Chain A
Amino acid sequence: MSAESGRSRQWLLTLPSLAWLGVFFVIPCILVIVTVFRPADLQGGVGSGWTLETIHAVNDPSYLPIIWRTLWLSSVTTIVCVALALPMTFQMARVGPRMRQVLLLFVVIPFLSNFLIRIFAWKSLLHPEGPVTRLLHWLHLIPEDALLLNNVGTVLLVLIYTQLPFAILPLYAAAEKFDFGLLDAARDLGAGPWRSFAKVFVPGVRRGLISAALMVFVCSLGQYVIPQMVGGASDEMLGSKIAQRVFADRNLPHASALAAGLMLAVLVPMLIVAIWHRFGRKEGSA
């Protein structure tokens, strides 16, 4: 009986956040999906009636390279960020509490300045007259005419830069709870330092690993400022296209269709992870 009332009290406690989610997330999502089936009107709004016209328009092979680029940029960003964050958080969780605070501060500091300003900083760093370009020229590491800006590599670099903290924070939370005595046990049983890391530490923080990967992947998928500012004309991501449909073409249904597609691309992997977690927990408590 007390468990019952405890559960209902828990529901009451989550009610405000559920209401918030409903008003500002679920309803807008539904509106986006509804808009897909509305006709566009010439003033950039949404007309009345229903149509499948947008679906046909979106089914355009010229989107395929953009979708492909969006997917591989996000995937590579995710892999690189997680690969960098794993050893970093491993160390962060092992150092003393004071050093830990300092390192954590370093991770969070970039958030203190505006996202756009940080992208601009990259722009001026990599500018043909910028310090990085000049230094690399001087060291003869790149040819005279090499451009560090406006290519897909730069987009990837800046994506990794912006997403790295989102990989570090959830992984750090998991690494902090990890029992490092298990690494002693692994060494004792014949695993070298690398194998102990791979066979015991990595599985030990797998929940954090999944959160980190999901966070980075989802955030990367929707990026449009980065390709626009440091990428070239042919480095668009799906986010850029959505922005273009909204601001330049003023075609909301078309933008909604792309956004809904992206949403599905995000929700499906999350759903898979959620189901996987469920199974994992059941296995653990059976």
Chain B
Amino acid sequence: MDGFLVIDHVSKSFGSLRAVDKVSLTVSQGEAFSLLGPSGCGKTTLLRMIAGFERLDCGRILVGGQDITALPPEQRPVNTVFQNYALFPHLNVWENIAFGLRMSRRPREEIRSGVDRMLELVRLSEHARKRPAQLSGGQRQRVAIARALVNRPQVLLLDEPLAALDLKLRQHMLMELNAIHEQVGTTFIYVTHDQGEAMSLSDRIAVMNNGKVEQVDSPVHLYETPRSSFVASFIGDANFFTGTVVEMQHEGYVRVSVEGLGSPLVLSKGTVSANQTLRLMVRPEKISLMLKRPPSGERVNAFRGIVEDIAYFGSHTRYRIIAGEHSILAQLQRSRFSGGDIDPVRGTEVWMTFHPDEGRVVMLEGEA
């Protein structure tokens, strides 16, 4: 198996709970990789196993070709940025960052230059003599990153790095983390439950659920072509419809009969067969709204509905629309509302359309 960090059929149970269930992942050198999932999906357990804090029930973990499964945490070429930062309160910023180098008994001069270089990287040079208690949340976060990176780990693990920060600071640290990653080029493994964080931080994301990896892909692919309805609903919002295949066209287009919505044409990545029951997914922002019926055509999916609820978010507006038994979420940029000058209000009859390429078959029924 090639790859820099290799997680090979790793399992871990706590009592009867399978926290991590035969997970295999391969991360390449210098990659920014995220483990994304809801709480309890096993992502933190997996991270703690890479760091060496949890023993594996079975499987193995390799870093740069070296099997580290049996090594204690202090001997692994891996460092961690803990969720609550875990800075040593009795040491100042400088000493916190120097801790790892001191533990590996590096020469004094190397420690000094290493720590100073890190302080510069995270822009905390003037706070070197402060105690962690005197720093702001964002500054503590940067100390934690510097303290880990100064040891030149082959893999840097970051456990919910932004969870403890407020929204504004989070946006800022997001940029900062990306900049630091670019600068040091170390392999970064993020653990997060926040899809936005994962999407903007990582080259690839592993979406985890119930101890298993549902899909590993780039943020774009996860969003555009989710393989399961779990991935589709976890990454962004999604409308789901259950239907039956009534017609198969060339190039993967299938016509699916959905009760109350007619027979929309959608794109299927997998193979489907006639009369098969399956699930469709359409992202809210892929749906356009019109006040008049759109001109009908072979490749137009149009349904009529009544606006149930409107929520204005500034950059966009969300509409909840009732069509038969379906409750459909549509999201529009203010300017994209077409087919009339007036805004729809609650109770307005509207037409929804989406392009066949934007409708996806996510999971064949019974596969769940």
| Residues in chain A within 8 A of chain B (CB atoms) | 179, 181-182, 184-192, 195, 199-200, 203-204, 206, 283-286
B135 at the interface (CB under 8 A from A): no
Contact of B103 among A181, A182, A195, A286 (CB under 8 A): A195
Segment at the interface with A among B73-81, B163-171, B281-289, B296-304: B73-81
B84 at the interface (CB under 8 A from A): yes
Residues of A near B136 (CB, < 8 A) are none
Residues of A near B80 (CB, < 8 A) are 184-185, 188
Residues of B near A204 (CB, < 8 A) are 88-90
Contact of A187 among B72, B134, B147, B151 (CB under 8 A): B72
A191–B53 alpha-carbon span in the complex (Å): 13
> Are B151 and A182 in contact (CB-based, < 8 A)?
no
Within 8 A of A (CB), among B112-149: 131, 133-134, 147-148
Which chain A residue has the least Cβ–Cβ distance from B153? Answer: A188
> Are A189 and B82 in contact (CB-based, < 8 A)?
no
Which of B74, B80, B89 has the most CB atoms of chain A within a 10 A radius of its CB?
Answer: B74
A206 to chain B, nearest CB (A): 7
B63 to chain A, nearest CB (A): 14
Residues of B near A199 (CB, < 8 A) are 99, 103
> Are A189 and B103 in contact (CB-based, < 8 A)?
yes
Which chain B residue has the least Cβ–Cβ distance from A204? Answer: B90
Q: A185-B80, A185-B87, A285-B134 are in contact. List 6 more A-B contacts (CB 8 A).
A: A181-B86, A184-B80, A187-B53, A189-B151, A190-B151, A204-B89
A246–B119 alpha-carbon span in the complex (Å): 65
Residues of B near A192 (CB, < 8 A) are 72, 74
Contact of B73 among A184, A284, A286 (CB under 8 A): A184
> Are B90 and A189 in contact (CB-based, < 8 A)?
no
B19 at the interface (CB under 8 A from A): no
> Are A185 and B86 in contact (CB-based, < 8 A)?
yes
Which of A187, A199, A204 has the most CB atoms of chain B within a 10 A radius of its CB?
Answer: A187
Residues of B near A286 (CB, < 8 A) are 134
Contact of A188 among B79, B84, B131, B134 (CB under 8 A): B79
B271 at the interface (CB under 8 A from A): no
Contact of A190 among B53, B74, B84, B89 (CB under 8 A): B74
A208–B75 alpha-carbon span in the complex (Å): 31
A52 to chain B, nearest CB (A): 48
Residues of B near A284 (CB, < 8 A) are 131, 133-134
Q: Using a Cβ–Cβ cut-off of 8 Å, how many residues does chain B contribute to the interface with A?
A: 27
B100 at the interface (CB under 8 A from A): yes
> Are B131 and A189 in contact (CB-based, < 8 A)?
no
Known: A190-B100, A191-B103. A185 touches B88 (CB 8 A): yes
B104 at the interface (CB under 8 A from A): yes
Residues of B near A184 (CB, < 8 A) are 53, 73, 80, 82, 86
> Are B73 and A182 in contact (CB-based, < 8 A)?
no
Chain A interface mostly: helix
9 A–B pairs (Cβ distance < 8 Å), ordered by A: A181-B82, A184-B80, A185-B80, A187-B73, A188-B79, A190-B100, A191-B99, A203-B88, A204-B89
A154–B51 alpha-carbon span in the complex (Å): 49
A176 to chain B, nearest CB (A): 16
> Are B51 and A188 in contact (CB-based, < 8 A)?
yes
> Are B133 and A189 in contact (CB-based, < 8 A)?
no
> Are B89 and A189 in contact (CB-based, < 8 A)?
no
Residues of B near A188 (CB, < 8 A) are 51-52, 73-74, 78-80, 82, 148
B228 to chain A, nearest CB (A): 34
Which of B52, B80, B90 has the most CB atoms of chain A within a 10 A radius of its CB?
Answer: B90
Which chain A residue has the least Cβ–Cβ distance from B157? Answer: A188
Residues of A near B104 (CB, < 8 A) are 190
A180 to chain B, nearest CB (A): 10
A276 to chain B, nearest CB (A): 14
A200–B90 alpha-carbon span in the complex (Å): 8
> Are A181 and B131 in contact (CB-based, < 8 A)?
no
Residues of B near A191 (CB, < 8 A) are 74, 99, 103
Contact of A189 among B53, B72, B84, B99 (CB under 8 A): B99
Contact of A185 among B52, B75, B82 (CB under 8 A): B82
Residues of A near B134 (CB, < 8 A) are 284-286
B118 to chain A, nearest CB (A): 13
Residues of B near A187 (CB, < 8 A) are 52-53, 72-74
A215–B148 alpha-carbon span in the complex (Å): 39
Q: Mark B87-113, 1 if CB is under 8 A from A, else 0.
A: 111100000000110011000000000
A283–B100 alpha-carbon span in the complex (Å): 24
Residues of A near B74 (CB, < 8 A) are 187-192
A203–B89 alpha-carbon span in the complex (Å): 9
Which of A181, A190, A195 has the most CB atoms of chain B within a 10 A radius of its CB?
Answer: A190
A179–B89 alpha-carbon span in the complex (Å): 10
A194 to chain B, nearest CB (A): 11
A277 to chain B, nearest CB (A): 14
Which chain B residue has the least Cβ–Cβ distance from A280? Answer: B90
Known: A192-B74, A284-B133. A186 touches B53 (CB 8 A): no
Which of A184, A185, A286 has the most CB atoms of chain B within a 10 A radius of its CB?
Answer: A185
A198 to chain B, nearest CB (A): 11
